[in-house]
Chains A and B, each alone.
Chain A
């Protein structure tokens, strides 16, 4: 069983009247709300927390990509992951992921992920999301009806770039490259474990199953809502006659641990409500541009959110609602452990993305919750899927002689070592 500590990196200073004064937290959010000098501290705090999670014993630390987004100030997760690669030694670096249809050419992703894998000594988990419509279509201008086609081409190019040993020509519809020659290449062979974040289309499931990629259901609606969807995923797994390794699925869950259930509410409620009421305030017109979703998905989908009178529905959620509906797993270590165990079993997930910093939660609360989870919850759940330990498909197997954080600090402080014989004077420029 793998636990990945995840930070969305929200902006912590959205004003109280954010919903009234902004149409959307994403795409056209008021850019004056961003304060670059404040961001200096925010980025460091968030990266420190990710490093702390390794210390507490999490198997992985996770980052993702969003653009023009008040709850995710991480347009380039690779930059954050590069920082983490230097300052951590054991945790998997889960970049979930790069929206590969947005990179021109996407060989850039093959290169940067290879760099991260080399720097980290083979600790990369590579995520390839299709990307949200907000990021992909409205912020980065990709044509909705062609996004999936472009994604498919980018995926083919990246995997070939990683695995082929000779330069090759790639005559794609969106990318024409005469010489593809990925340099560097990843340590992990044939490639790092690949995770595909998705929302539930059958096409994505089949794509994961054909390639032995992990399907990561990333929603903020909690495990109770996630259960129905993942049940259909597991049905599809057996329909396609694949093995039922729990490594095939991952789930993101908001988790808050405290001394008692009452303390959890007292400490975390306001920050979780900040997240749901301000950070998820997305203009619905941005969430479904025509052409992005398949017709089948629309027919099956919920349409209530498109009605005028339903625009303010999330505003009225209370802490009790969120806990009751499973949006948040919160409480004492016992309460959390019990619900987590139930969740992991019923969803049959081999990886949980633990959302432990949410909204405007201050650092000390994040660390308190993280520490309690690491000490009192995680150890009792770690061995839930022993069959995963010997399965290389879903989690990195770092090289054993990798450079560790302590080594790199020591190396940086060493005085320069001059390899020349002490008697010589070095190069004679007249020679």
Chain B
């Protein structure tokens, strides 16, 4: 399977960055999680068989400097729409995972007529007092897989992408990336991943699907129910034997679920 192409773009606000593109079919924007996105990700390659995939690398997640102009939830949301404009798309399908799902939902609530479909994969953005989300910001590298994957052993391999954490250089590289990426994510996820999205979700007008891993330990079933109650028209697809990191852990099943949602 071929990798996606890396293109550079610049928004109207003068913010530059990379976007991973490829495939044919309707335009689909994919917004990644707090763990970033790579052109080798199998999910994107599979989606590219059915869609023209546009996966922007959020500022702070690529080689570019952290963007100090994007700080609040509104900044994130508007930057999402600036990216859609910069990619030259009209009414795309918007798919977002975890943090990307939170941004996608905000975009859909802010400009409900500017997208054709919304697919939220285990999105962040809500908080349920009775079921606090595990604090990924206080976890050590070796602790992450437990919360993020159904299969922890597989999760550790996927998360480290073959890096050996006993090697200081690999660990340093991981920590620098983590600092940049999670530091950026922290602007909307720390200390509680709730920027009052719940009170804006009523504005979402696009056809919406919620896709969830059955054994998501980061955002367990309580969160799925909360989303469903706030987006009652959304269709729901649950993938068995899958944790929070669906795009890494179950790319084939997730692709099928997305196709089903958009059918």
Contacts A299-B172, A306-B171 given: A145-B166 contact, CB under 8 Å? no
> What is the bound-complex CA distance between A163 and B64, given in angstroms?
40
Interface residues in B, total, Cβ within 8 A: 29
* 19 residue pairs bridging A and B, Cβ less than 8 Å apart: A137-B190, A137-B191, A138-B191, A145-B183, A145-B184, A145-B187, A285-B138, A286-B138, A289-B138, A289-B190, A290-B182, A292-B183, A295-B176, A295-B179, A298-B172, A299-B176, A303-B175, A307-B166, A308-B142
Distance, CA A145 to CA B191, complexed state (A): 12
Give the distance to chain B from A299, nearest Cβ to Cβ, in Å.
Answer: 6
B172 touches A145 (CB 8 A): no
Which 7 A-B pairs rank lowest in CB-CB distance, beginning with the nearest?
Answer: A291-B183, A290-B182, A285-B138, A145-B183, A141-B191, A290-B183, A290-B179
Would you give the shortest CB distance from B192 to chain A, in whole angstroms?
A: 8
For the A-B complex, the count of residue pairs with Cβ-Cβ distances under 8 Å equals 77
Do residues A138 and B168 form an inter-chain contact, with CB atoms below 8 A?
no
Residues of B within 8 A of A285 (CB): 137-140, 143
CA distance A306 to B172 in the complex (A): 11
- The chain A residue sitting closest to B192, CB to CB, is A141
| A143 part of interface (Cβ distance < 8 Å) | yes
Contact B140 A306 (CB under 8 A): yes
B253 sits at the interface (CB 8 A):
no
| Interface of A (DSSP majority class) | helix
Could you tell me which B residues sit within 8 Å of A by CB distance? 66, 71, 137-143, 165-166, 168, 171-172, 175-176, 178-187, 190-192
Taking CB atoms, residues of chain B closer than 8 Å to A308 are: 140, 142
Most buried by B among A27, A143, A145, A292: A145
Roughly how many angstroms separate A284 CA and B166 CA in the complex, as a whole number?
17
Chain A nearest CB from B180 CB (Å) reads 7
A328: shortest Cβ distance to chain B, in Å?
Answer: 29
Tell whether A225 is near chain B: CB-to-CB under 8 Å. Answer: no
Closest CB-CB distance, B120 to chain A, in whole Å?
24
How many Å from the CB of A16 to the closest CB on chain B? Answer: 26
Closest-by-CB residue of A relative to B71 is: A146
User: Which of B137, B168, B172, B176 is in CB contact (< 8 Å) with A144?
Assistant: B137
Can you add 13 more A-B contacts, CB < 8 Å, to A303-B172, A306-B140, A307-B171?
Answer: A137-B190, A143-B191, A145-B183, A145-B187, A146-B71, A289-B138, A290-B137, A290-B181, A290-B183, A298-B179, A299-B176, A306-B141, A306-B175
